[in-house]
Structure 1
Amino acid sequence: MAGERSKKYLPSFWQDDSAMQGYMSVIKSRAVNPIDHDRKIKFWTDLIASSCEVERNAVISLDLLKRRFQRGDQVPASLNVVLEHLDRCGVLMPLSKWKEQHSSWMDWSFSKLSKTSEWLFGSSKSETCEKYIHLPTIKIQADLLMNLYSKEFQSEVDGTGSVVAYSTFYDSARDIVHTKENFDVILAHLSERGDVIVGQGRNGEQILKFRDTTSAGPVTFTETDASVHDIRRAMSKVEKEISVLEKKIEKLDVDCRASLRSGDKTRAANLLRQKKRAQKDISDKDGQYQRLLTMLQQLGSTKHNKEVLDAYKAGTAAFKATLARHGLTPDKIDETMDEVANSIDDYREIEEAMGIPIVPKSYDEEELEKELDDLISKQQPLPTPASGSPRKQVVPSLPEVPTNTLGYRELDDDETMNLEKRLQRLRSAM
C-alpha cells in the first residue's frame, strides 16, 4: 500500500540516477548559484507538500522525510536546508512554537483529547526529531473534514447532527487523516476558525460540537449537547444488545429444531423457553430504544422551536421599528381613518347638493286669480245704446293725410346717416 501511495507523489524520473543526482546532493548557498538553489528548493518544497497530502499526515520531521525520500541507500543531503527555508517562509511551523500559540486552547480542550499524544508534552531529543506542521496541508485536511461532516453527520433527521463523538468522527476520517496527532492539530485549526469546539461528556468521553449554519454566534458546548451524546451512546448500547439477542434467538431456534429431530423433547422445550425469554428481552429493549429516540427527537425539536421563536421575536422587533420609523401608531391610524370618513361624508353632501334641480319661483294661483278679478272689476263697462231709438252710425274721425308718401315723418339727415350705418353693420354681420 505504501509503495502504491508513494508513486502518486514521487516524480517520474525518481529512479533515474543521473536526473536525481543533483537533487540528492547538497544544496549550495544561493549567493553561489541562485538558479540552482531556487530550482532544488522548489523541487523539494513541492515534493514535501505532495507527500503530506498523499500520506495523510501534515506532521513531519527531518528523520521522517529522510525515510520517505530514501533512494536505496541514498538519502537527500540537504533536507535540513529545505526545512529551514520553509520555516522562514511560513509554510512550516515547529510544533513547539505552535504549542505556545495554542496554549490556552490546549489547556481546556486539547489536553482532554488523545491521551497517547505524547508529542504534545515531550521535548525533542535532537534537531532531526523535531516535528513540524505543514500548514497548507492542515488547511486542506480541515476543509476535507468539514465536507465529511456535512455529508455524513450534519443532516441528522433528529436535528442533533452538530454533536459528534470524537472517536466516531476520527474513525470516519481515516481516509483523510492518518494519525491522531495530525487529527488533533486539525481540530485546533477548526477551533480557531470557529467551526468546532471540543467538549466532554459526563463519562469523560470527548465530544465535538460543530457550528450550526443557522446560528450566527460562536459555537458553544452546553449540557444539552452532553445529554445528546449520552442518549446516543445509550441507544448504541441497546442496539448492540438487541443484535446479540437476535443472534442468540437464531442459534436457539436451530438447536431446538435439532433436538426435536433427535427426539429430545425436554431439551427442545427448554431451548424454546429460552427463545421466548430472549424475544421478550428484545421487545423490552426495543421499547427502551424507542423512548431514547423520542427523547433525542424532543431535544432536536426544542432547538428548532427556539429558532422559530427567535425568528418571531426578530420579525416583531423589525416590524415595530419600521412602524416607529414611519411614524405609524394605532392612534394616528384611527385619526387618519376618521378624517377619511369625514371627507367622504362631506363629498357625499356636496354631491347631493349639486344634484338638486333648479326650479323657478312658483306663484300662488289663488293670488293670481284674485288680482285678475280686481283688474276686471276696476275696468269701466262700455256704454250701451237705447233700445227704442235707431242706432246712429258714428263715423270716426280720421287722421290727417300724411304729407310724405310712406306715411312716415321725414327724417333728419343725422337720423338718416345713423340708419344707413346700422343697415351697413347688419349687412356686414350677415
Structure 2
Amino acid sequence: MARGAEKSEFSFPACWEDSKVMQIRFATFRPRHLSIEDYDTKMKFWKDLVTQYLKFWGRVTFSLRDLQLNFMRGDQLPACLDTVISEMHQQKQIRPRTEYDNDPANTWSGWLMNSLVKRPLSWSWLKIKHSVVGEDMEASTLVEWIHLGVLNDICELMIKKLLPENRGKLFHFDAFKSLCDVHQIRIHTEKDIFACLISLHVRQLVGLEFKTEKQVRSIHLIKIPFKETDDLNINETDHAVHNLQITQADLLKQLENLEEEIKANDEKARQYIKENKRQMAKTYLRKRHLVEKNHERRSIALHNIESLLSSVDEAQNSGVVLDAYKIGSSTLQKVLSDSGLKYDSVDEVLADVRETLEQHREVQDVLSNSTVDPTASQEDDQLENELRELCGEAATVPQKSNAAASNNNDRFEVVISDQEMIEMLANLEVEDGSVSVSSTRTLKQLQKS
C-alpha cells in the first residue's frame, strides 16, 4: 500500500496540521534537564503516535526508516525518532528483531529471556549509537524492531477469532494468512504473522513446523490443537490427514474444471450442429463422454477421501467421548468414596431407619389405646353446660344431688325418679291417634298412684 494512502486512512492528532507545533515536535530532543516537562510531553506524543500507528496497520515489525517515511509532513522528516526508539527500547516496549534471529535455540522464549533478563542495558542501541566505534547511520535506520504491545494485541485477536473455530486442523502458512484476512485481522506483512505465530507457539497454543529454503527459515505448517492437552508436535498422522485434505481440495478444483470443460464441449457441439458440421459435433460429443468418465472417476475418489476424513474425525470424536466417560467415572467413584456411599453402609443405615420407624409406630399404638382420664370428660361436660347457660338454654345434665350417683366401678349414671318421669311424659306433645288405648290407661294408672 502506498504511503500516501496509509496516511490518508490513519487519523493523525489535531496538532498535526499546526506547522509551528509540529516544527517543534519534529526537531531533535534537547537535553532533558533543560526542560523536563517539555521533554516528557514530546516523548509521550511520539511514543503514543508510534504505538497507535503500528496497531492500526497491524505492524509488529518496523524500522526507523519506516517511521520517518510514514510520518513525513511534506518534505520534512521527523529528526527525533531515533531518540524515541532508544527510549522505548530502554523501557522494554520494543526489541531488536535480530535478537530473535540470532538466538541459537531458535525459540521465542530464549529471545525474550535474552532481551528482558540476560542482556544488560549497557549494550542498548543508544549506547552503541554513541560508542567510539564508527557507525553506519544509514544501516541503523534499517534495523528492524518488534513492538511487544502490538504483538500481544494481534495474538489476542488470533486466540479469540481463529483458534476456537479451527481446533484440530493443520494449515499451510499461506492458508493461515488467508484465514486472518477472512476474520478481518489486519496484519501488515508475513514477517508480522511469523512473529505472532512464534509467540503463540511459545504460549503452547499452536504447533509449528519449519522449512529452510535458500538459507531462509520460514514456517511451513501450523497445527491448532483440538484441546489444550494435545501434543503440539506435528506427527505422521497430522501429515497424513493434511495430505488427505490437500488431495480433497485438489479433486474439488479438478471437478470444477471438468464440469466447465463438459459445458464447453456441449457448446462446441451445438455450434457445429448449427453450422451443419455433424462430424465435428460428434468429435466434441466423444470428447465430452471422455471428460464425463474422468469426472466420474474423480468423483468416486473424492467420495472415498471424504469417507476417510469422516472416519478420522469420528474416531477423534469417539476418543473425546471415551475420555469424557473416563473422567466422569473416576469423578463419580471419588464422590461416592468421599461421601461414604457404599452398599454395606447404605444397607445398614436403611435397616436402622426401618427399626426406628417400627419403634415409632409401636409408641403411637400404645398412646392411642390408653384410658382417658374421666375427670377430663366431666370437665368438658361442665364447660358445655356453662356455654348453654350463656346462650339461655337449659342444662342437659341435672344437679348432682338429684341426678347422679357413683357406683362401685367409679362410673357415673343418671337417676330419675318416677314423679320426674311422669312430668316429662306429660310435657310431651303427641299427635292424635298415634298412641294406643292401652298406653293411655297405663299412663292414667301411674298418675293415680
TM-score, structure 2 as length reference = 0.65
RMSD of the TM alignment (CA)?
A: 3.4
Structure 1 319/146 Cα, relative in aligned 2: closer, same or farther at 3 Å? closer
Distance 1:50 1:355 in 2: 89
Distance 1:317 1:96 in 2: 50
Corresponding position of 1:198: 208
Q: Quote the offset at 1:342 in angstroms.
A: 7.7
Q: Which region of structure 1 is more displaced relative to structure 2, 173-182 or 258-267?
A: 173-182
Q: Quote the offset at 1:4 in angstroms.
A: 3.4
Corresponding position of 2:12: 10
Distance 1:67 1:240 in 2: 43
Structure 1 102/43 Cα, relative in aligned 2: closer, same or farther at 3 Å? farther
> 1:165–1:229: 8 Å Cα contact kept in structure 2?
no
Q: How does 1:395-414 map to 2 (within 5 A)?
A: none
Q: Report Cα offsets for 1:8-36 as digits up to 9, x if no partner.
A: 14333434322211011111111111111
Structure 1 322/56 Cα, relative in aligned 2: closer, same or farther at 3 Å? closer
Corresponding position of 1:165: 172
> 2:170–2:223: 8 Å Cα contact kept in structure 1?
yes
Structure 1 26/205 Cα, relative in aligned 2: closer, same or farther at 3 Å? closer
Q: Quote the offset at 1:168 in angstroms.
A: 0.4
Structure 1 173/102 Cα, relative in aligned 2: closer, same or farther at 3 Å? farther
Corresponding position of 2:376: none
Distance 1:236 1:210 in 2: 19
Q: Quote the offset at 1:79 in angstroms.
A: 1.0
For 1:325, which of 338, 342, 357 is the aligned residue? Answer: 338
> 1:9–1:47: 8 Å Cα contact kept in structure 2?
no
Listed as ranges, the gaps of 5+ residues in structure 1 are 109-123, 357-430
The aligned amino acid for 1:179 is: T
Q: How does 1:28-427 map to 2 (within 5 A)?
A: 28-99=30-101, 103-105=105-107, 126-150=139-163, 154-155=164-165, 161-174=168-181, 176-199=186-209, 206-212=220-226, 214-216=227-229, 219-334=232-347
Q: Report Cα offsets for 1:99-158 as digits up to 9, x if no partner.
A: 4568343799xxxxxxxxxxxxxxx983222111011111122122334415xxx546xx
Distance 1:40 1:297 in 2: 60
Q: Quote the offset at 1:355 in angstroms.
A: 12
What SS class does the counterpart of residue 29 from structure 2 fall into?
Answer: coil
Q: Quote the offset at 1:279 in angstroms.
A: 1.6
> 1:199–1:207: 8 Å Cα contact kept in structure 2?
yes
Q: Quote the offset at 1:228 in angstroms.
A: 2.3
TM-score, structure 1 as length reference = 0.68
Distance 1:44 1:139 in 2: 20
Structure 1 74/316 Cα, relative in aligned 2: closer, same or farther at 3 Å? same
Q: Quote the offset at 1:260 in angstroms.
A: 0.9
Q: Quote the offset at 1:162 in angstroms.
A: 3.5
Distance 1:355 1:126 in 2: 109
Distance 1:329 1:140 in 2: 53
Distance 1:44 1:187 in 2: 28
The aligned amino acid for 1:4 is: A
Distance 1:346 1:25 in 2: 100
Q: Whose RCO is larger (CA < 8 A, sep 6+)?
A: 1
Q: Report Cα offsets for 1:361-389 as digits up to 9, x if no partner.
A: xxxxxxxxxxxxxxxxxxxxxxxxxxxxx
Distance 1:234 1:331 in 2: 60
> 2:64–2:82: 8 Å Cα contact kept in structure 1?
yes
Structure 1 94/282 Cα, relative in aligned 2: closer, same or farther at 3 Å? same
Q: Quote the offset at 1:232 in angstroms.
A: 1.0
What SS class does the counterpart of residue 279 from structure 1 fall into?
Answer: helix
> 1:207–1:229: 8 Å Cα contact kept in structure 2?
no
Distance 1:205 1:332 in 2: 61
Kindly tell me the number of residue pairs found equivalent between the two proteins. Answer: 334
**Greater gyration radius:** 1
Q: Quote the offset at 1:198 in angstroms.
A: 0.9
The aligned amino acid for 2:339 is: H
> 1:69–1:75: 8 Å Cα contact kept in structure 2?
yes
Structure 1 280/35 Cα, relative in aligned 2: closer, same or farther at 3 Å? same
> 2:100–2:108: 8 Å Cα contact kept in structure 1?
no
> 2:29–2:80: 8 Å Cα contact kept in structure 1?
yes
Q: Report Cα offsets for 1:242-268 as digits up to 9, x if no partner.
A: 111111111101100011111111121
> 2:109–2:202: 8 Å Cα contact kept in structure 1?
no
Distance 2:177 2:200 in 1: 14
Distance 2:324 2:349 in 1: 32
Distance 1:247 1:256 in 2: 14
Q: Report Cα offsets for 1:32-80 as digits up to 9, x if no partner.
A: 1111111111111111112212333221111221222222332111211
Q: Quote the offset at 1:227 in angstroms.
A: 2.3
The aligned amino acid for 1:196 is: V
Distance 1:107 1:51 in 2: 27
* Runs (4+) off by over 6 Å: 338-356
1:26 aligns with 2:39: no
